[in-house]
Amino acid sequence: MRWILRWAMRAVLMALLAIVVIGLWKRDEILRLWAVNTLFDEGRIVENFSHMDRAFLTVPLGRGEGPVSDLPEGPPLALPQGTQAWIEARAVTSLMVLHEGRVVHESYHLGTGPEDRRIGWSLSKSYLSALFGLLVEDGTIASLDVPVTHYDRRLIGGAYDGVTIRQVLQMTSGVEFDEDYLDYHSDINRMGRVLALGGTMDGFAAGLMARAAQPGALWEYVSIDTHVLGMVVRGATGREIPDLLTERILAPLGLEDAPYYLSDGEGVAFVLGGLNMRTRDHARFGLMYEQMGVYEGRQVVPADWVRLSTRASAPTQPGKIGYGYQWWIPVGAPDGVFMARGIYGQYIYIDQDRDAVIVVTSADRGFREEGVHEANVEMMRRIAEAL
């Protein structure tokens, strides 16, 4: 009996030793997975959104070598009635309003500040759209109607085979992708775990096989579409997106601080939702789009692309929100009103007629509740009207 106990104790000790060795070997991956699984917890979410580099692998972007561009102060805006209640209810962390290129309101909440480089989530998609416009203008990408497999052959044989660049820009790829953030087993959350554990996003995208609809037939918001656009950009240019975005979009804006992307285990930028930057620098990007791609007298993004990408062109249902090339158009909005949008309450809202740019960052755990997004858009519309 004693020898059985001795062998049992040895087995237990060996198992514990193996757990310790594996834990040390995979320490970073385990910590990142734990961080992802607690990323949105109440009490953690605000701090996490300002320090995503603690939970994920990252790659840096530059801000260029030029001086910080001026954002002059304008006359303070009297915010509409109910704004403070909205800020509190929606866990807004920053609110910035530009009118005629001048700062008329800037405030930070829940312990955040102007130096925070906060996660933009799907605001990132609109930045990639801007880069796309430049590559189309200079002929690097000759046509939006060629298949994405022309630029990355790893997509051949999967769900993206035969899908055109335009269809992916409009999110009419038809690829089946479950974007339910509250379902642990959804595709979007599986993708998050791939990212956290240092897997390959390219491999994840190429491995998708199922279609929910024929390409071009149906608009369905599919975040992985934007990663495929990133694969197209890398295939067309032979360069990494952080370098391209810095050189062609960010450097001309005179940012205050260098942003960073979340990345996968191969150092590929998480372009569909991983851009982290200051609120004031988002405002500079928004101002450039509000001015039809011009910033401080320089045409940064082609005016034709600004116009094309921010007009509803995807086949959304009548009376529903519109979608262009990685930009959103509010229901019933006139031309010149459009927005970048990210989960948990991130917005860059632009109203060209009113010469207004509104940037909102939030940590809103109730962002999926019915009517919340519509209430956010209504508040931003009222702020723009108050100018």
Give tens-digit pLDDT for 80-127.
999 999 999 999 999 999 999 999 999 999 999 999 999 999 999 999
Segments in the chain forming alpha helices (H):
2-25, 27-37, 45-50, 83-89, 123-137, 165-169, 187-196, 201-206, 224-237, 241-245, 279-290, 303-309, 372-385
Q: What is the pLDDT of residues 35-52, one digit of tens each?
A: 666 888 999 999 999 999
More confident residue, 234 or 17: 234
For the record, the structure tokens of 93 come out as 């962390």
Write down the pTM of the prediction. 0.91
Closest CA to 360 of 154, 108, 61, 32: 108
Please, which residues have CB within 8 angstroms of residue 138's CB and are 6 or more apart in sequence? Answer: none
Distance spanning both ends of the chain, measured CA to CA: 85
Is the pLDDT at 21 greater than 50? The verdict is: no
Residue 127 one-letter amino acid: Y
Q: What is the pLDDT of residues 303-326, one digit of tens each?
A: 999 999 999 999 987 778 999 999
| 83-117 core/surface letters (b: 16 or more CB in 10 A; e: else) | beebbeebbbbbbbbbbebebbbbbbbbebeeebb
Q: What is the pLDDT of residues 187-220, one digit of tens each?
A: 888 888 887 778 899 999 999 999 999 999 999 9
pLDDT for 163:
98
Beta strand 260-262 with 58-60 is antiparallel
| Cα–Cα dist 105/344, whole Å | 22
| Cα–Cα dist 227/246, whole Å | 18
| Cα–Cα dist 14/24, whole Å | 15
pLDDT for 367:
95
Radius of gyration of the chain (CA): 22
- Using the Cα atoms of residue 276, residue 286, residue 373 and residue 269 in order, give the sign of their dihedral: negative
pLDDT for 7:
56
| Cα–Cα dist 150/62, whole Å | 30
For the record, the structure tokens of 252 come out as 């001309």
